[in-house]
Amino acid sequence: MDHPVSSKYKLMNNGTNIQNYTELPNNNPLVIADGGLKIVYCNDSFKEFFGLEEGNEIISMNSNNEFVNFIGSFKQSKYKNIALDLELSSLNSAELKIYSVNVERVMIGANQYFIVTVESLVHRNKLEEKINALSSALDHGNVPILILDSAQKITYSTHSFETLLSKELDSIYNKNLASILDDKLSPADLSELQNSMDNYTPWKKLIPFVKRSPVKYWEFTLSPILTSEGLFPGFILIANDLTEHINQKRALERSERKQKLIINNISDLLLIIEHIGPSLFFENANDNFCEIFNLEKEKIFSRKLEDFIPNPLLKEMYTAVNLNQKEKTHSHKFSYRDSNSRDYECKIKSVAEPESHSIIYLLTMKDITDEVLFKEQMQRAYQKEMLLNKMKSDFLANMSHEIRTPFNAIVGFAEIVDESIETGDIDSLRELMDSMKEVMGRAVNLFTNIVEVFQIEAGEVELDKVDLNCNHVIRNVYQKLLNDANKKKLNFFLEVDDIDCMIEADWVKFEKIILLLADNSIKYTEQGHVTLATRNWGKKIEITISDTGLGMEKSSVDRLLKPFTQEVEGYTRPYEGAGLGLTLAYKLTKLLGGNFLITSEKNVGTNITLTFPTGF
* 519 and 557 both lie in a single domain: yes
Query: Same structural domain for residues 243 and 176?
Result: yes
Does any domain span residue 325? Answer: yes
What whole-number distance in Å separates Cα of residue 148 and Cα of residue 223? Answer: 10
Residues 6+ apart with CB under 8 A from 378: none
* Percent above pLDDT 90 for the chain: 24
**231: amino acid identity, one letter:** L
- pLDDT tens-digit map of 5-20: 444 444 444 556 666 7
Q: How far apart are CA 161 and CA 334, in angstroms?
A: 64
pLDDT of residue 274: 86
- Integer-rounded Cα Rg, in Å, for the chain is 61
Residues 404 and 518 in one domain: no
Task: At 296, give phi and psi (nearest 5°).
Answer: -115, 115
Q: Distance (Å, rounded) from C-alpha 183 to C-alpha 172?
A: 14
Question: Is residue 261 domain-resident?
Answer: no
Computed over every residue of the chain, the mean pLDDT equals 81
Average pLDDT value for residue range 209-237: 80
Residue 466 lies in a domain: yes
Checking if the pLDDT of 217 tops 80, the result is yes
Last residue of a domain, one of 98, 124, 150: 124
Could you tell me whether strands 216-225 and 234-241 are parallel, antiparallel, or unpaired per DSSP bridges?
antiparallel
Strand partners, 359: 275, 352
The pLDDT, as a whole number, for residue 129 is: 67
The answer on 272 and 243 residing in a single domain is: no
* Bridge partner list, 545: 532, 608
Q: What is the dihedral of CA 559, 561, 562, 563, to 10 degrees?
A: 130
Query: Alpha helices, DSSP H only, in 463-599?
Result: 470-487, 507-523, 557-560, 581-591
Does residue 225 lie in a domain region?
A: yes
Rounded to whole angstroms, the Cα distance separating 97 from 66 reads 12
Q: Are 487 and 566 in contact (CB under 8 A)?
A: no
Give the model confidence (pLDDT) of 129-156 as tens digits: 666 666 666 666 577 888 888 888 988 8
How far, in Å, CA of 295 to CA of 289, rounded? 8
Asked whether residue 419 falls in the same domain as residue 393, the answer is yes
One domain, residues 146 and 92: no
| Bridge partner list, 493 | 531
Whole-angstrom CA distances from 410 to 141, 404, 450 are 123, 10, 21
What value does the mean pLDDT take over residues 310-317? 91
Q: What is the pLDDT of residue 104?
A: 94
> What is the CATH number for 10?
3.30.450.20
**Residue 257 domain-assigned (yes or no):** no
Q: Which long-range contacts (CB under 8 A, 24 or more apart) does 401-407 make?
A: 401/571, 401/576, 402/446, 402/576, 402/577, 402/578, 403/443, 403/446, 405/576, 406/439, 406/440, 406/442, 406/443, 407/443
The conformation of residue 451, written as its DSSP 8-state character, comes to H
Contacts 24+ apart (CB under 8 A), 96-102: 97/121, 97/122, 100/124, 101/67, 101/70
Asked, for residue 136, whether it belongs to a domain, the answer is no
Res. 106: pLDDT tops 70: yes
Q: What is the pLDDT of residue 133?
A: 64
Final residue belonging to a domain, choices 347, 367, 387 = 367
For residue 586, being part of any structural domain is answered with yes
Distances (CA, A) of 270 to 257, 299, 342, 352, 364: 16, 18, 16, 18, 5
Question: Once rounded to an integer, what is the mean pLDDT over residues 198-222?
Answer: 84
Lowest mean pLDDT among 10-14, 345-349, 489-493, 517-521: 10-14
Question: Which domain covers residue 414, as residue numbers?
Answer: 372-438
Q: How high is the pLDDT of residue 15? A: 54
Q: Give the percent of the chain with pLDDT over 70.
A: 78
Nearest alpha carbon to residue 214 among 184, 249, 238, 244: 244
Task: Show which of 423, 438, 453 is a domain's final residue.
Answer: 438
Question: What does the alpha-carbon distance between residue 71 and residue 119 come to, in Å, rounded to a whole number?
Answer: 15
* Longest alpha-carbon distance in the chain: 195
pLDDT at residue 554 in the model: 75
pLDDT tens digits for range 469-513:
999 999 999 999 999 999 999 999 999 999 999 999 999 999 999
Residues 492 and 567 in one domain: yes
Q: Are 99 and 58 in contact (CB under 8 A)?
A: no
Q: Cis (ω within 30 of 0) for the bond into 563?
A: no
Residues 36 and 120 in one domain: yes
For residues 93-103, average pLDDT: 86
Predicted pLDDT of residue 23: 77
Q: Is residue 27 a contact partner of residue 47, using CB atoms and an 8 Å limit?
A: no
Predicted confidence (pLDDT) per residue in 532-571, tens digit: 999 999 999 999 999 999 888 776 666 566 654 554 444 3
In a domain, residue 231? The reply is yes
Do 421 and 535 have their domain in common?
no
Q: Do 592 and 507 belong together in one domain?
A: yes
Query: Could you give the number of structural domains in the chain?
Result: 5
Rounded CA-CA distance 50/23 in Å is: 17
Q: Can you tell me whether residue 45 is helix, strand or coil?
A: helix
Residue 392 pLDDT: 67
Say how many CA atoms lie within 13 Å of 441 toward its Cβ: 6
Quick check: 388 pLDDT over 90? no
pLDDT in the model for residue 559: 58
Could you read off the pLDDT of 399-430 as tens digits, one per residue? 665 666 666 667 676 777 777 777 777 777 77
Residues 220 and 358 in one domain: no
Alpha carbon dihedral 179, 181, 187, 190, in 10-degree steps, equals: -80
CATH of the domain at 515: 3.30.565.10
Residues 108-113 have a mean pLDDT of 91
Most confident of 99-108, 223-232, 435-444, 582-591: 99-108
Asked if 479 and 593 sit in the same domain, the reply is yes
Q: What is the DSSP string of 46-86?
A: HHHHH---TT-BGGG--S-HHHHHHHHHHHHS--SEEEEEE
Distance CA 184, CA 168 (A): 17
Mean of pLDDT values over 200-204: 91
Please count the other Cβ atoms lying within 10 Å of the Cβ belonging to residue 182. 13
